[in-house]
Amino acid sequence: MATIARTDNVARALVILLGAAVFLNYVDRGAIGIAAPLMKGELGLSEEAYGVAFSAFFWIYAPVQFFAGWLCDRFSVYKLMAAGILLWAGSTFLMGFAGGFAALLVLRIMLGVGESISFPGSSKIIARHVPPERRGMANAAVAAGIAIGPAIGTLAGGLILGQWGWRAIFFAFGIATLLWLAPWQAAIRKLPLTGHRDAGAQVSVGSLMTQWPLWSMSIVHALGNYCFYFLLAWLPLYLTKVRGFTIVEMTFLATLGYAVQAVCALSYGQFSDWWTRSGRSEAACRRWMMVASQSLAAAAILGLAYVDSAIGIGVLLCLAGAASAALSLNLYAVAQMFAGPRASGTWVGVQNAVGNLSGIIGPIVTGIVVHRSGYDSAFILTAAIAAIGAIWWAVGVPCIRQVIPD
């Protein structure tokens, strides 16, 4: 009993630290969006150049996911997580020294390499350590990190931006990320010497790639991410340059939406675990939660193009946050259901790679659309993509059950 309790305690610590890692992941990748109102002018970046710099992160982050997921299923996922964070923390810090477009581009690519381990690694660890009846809250910790990262990052970064300028944002965020390594090393030293430290049986990548559920999830992942990255990359510029809000007002409006997203993620996780423990279908819960949330995202994003008041924008950002919470929770929980413990790393690596192609394409497309047609057209396009995501969850994702045997 003592051994089981000790193992459970270590599992809880790992889940909390995974949530913290994803929190730092989104703080660091979103820093460029917070810095944009001042950085863009100082470095002489056009809308198209800024879109390219933002998307450069995904040029390497997306394709490296294939390799990162494969590594997680074959080597120590715990050491891989630590190495990834070390690289992305250094890249974030060095971005504070960027003197032009080229340096910014290279460092965003390095950031993408480091952060590529986060979601395959997190899903591998959750699938290995967490039973189905606690899967909701474990993934909610990751989903909350996705929301709290932009929330705290936007709030802290906006305040730093107003007080000390854009370079200080990258210095502060890079140092903060490095501090995560100490508790992580302490937690993994408490793992049993057998079972959890071993890579386990290998899964054939070729057989995995023939699974339609993997590709259906990859498609819906890309549709959902397009909307999330649109707001992450362009909301600060939109609120300050088009709507005329000050940096402080922009900071609090954006933070409000992310805060709602974090609270909803934890609530959804608790609800889905209760639903599963009660004997109801976990698959049905997650599917229809996503249909509703993507429909809500479409309505909220479309409304942002036409609402002028701060209150109206705040309400719509809260609704968008509530929708994004379900997305970040269920994308990985459903992937773990399909893949099982043996293949979760590789599965999420492939799914995240395809899903983040929207991070490459989206900012560039938005930059072109904004330059040629204005922000209204960009919001309409993004809302349409969210609506397609709702339809895909309803009819494109097949029956949700484990397809890779243990």
- Residue scoring higher pLDDT (147 or 160): 160
Looking up tokens 């339609």 gives: 212
Nearest CA among 129, 107, 74 for reference residue 346:
74
* Each residue's pLDDT tens digit, 216-254: 999 999 999 998 888 877 887 888 888 888 877 887 887
Confidence of residue 207 (pLDDT cuts 50, 70, 90): confident
Residue 136 pLDDT exceeds 80: yes
- Domains of the chain, with CATH numbers? 2-395 (1.20.1250.20)
In this structure, the number of other CB atoms found within 10 A of the CB of residue 207 comes to 10
* Each residue's pLDDT tens digit, 51-88: 788 778 777 887 888 788 888 888 888 999 999 999 99
Confidence of residue 406 (pLDDT cuts 50, 70, 90): low
Give the burial class of 380: count Cβ atoms within 10 A of its Cβ; 0-12 exposed, 13-18 middle, 19 or more buried: middle
In this structure, the number of other CB atoms found within 10 A of the CB of residue 38 comes to 16
In this structure, the number of other CB atoms found within 10 A of the CB of residue 106 comes to 15
**pLDDT value of position 339:** 85
Cα–Cα separations (whole angstroms), residue 406 to 340, 341, 343, 398: 7, 7, 9, 20
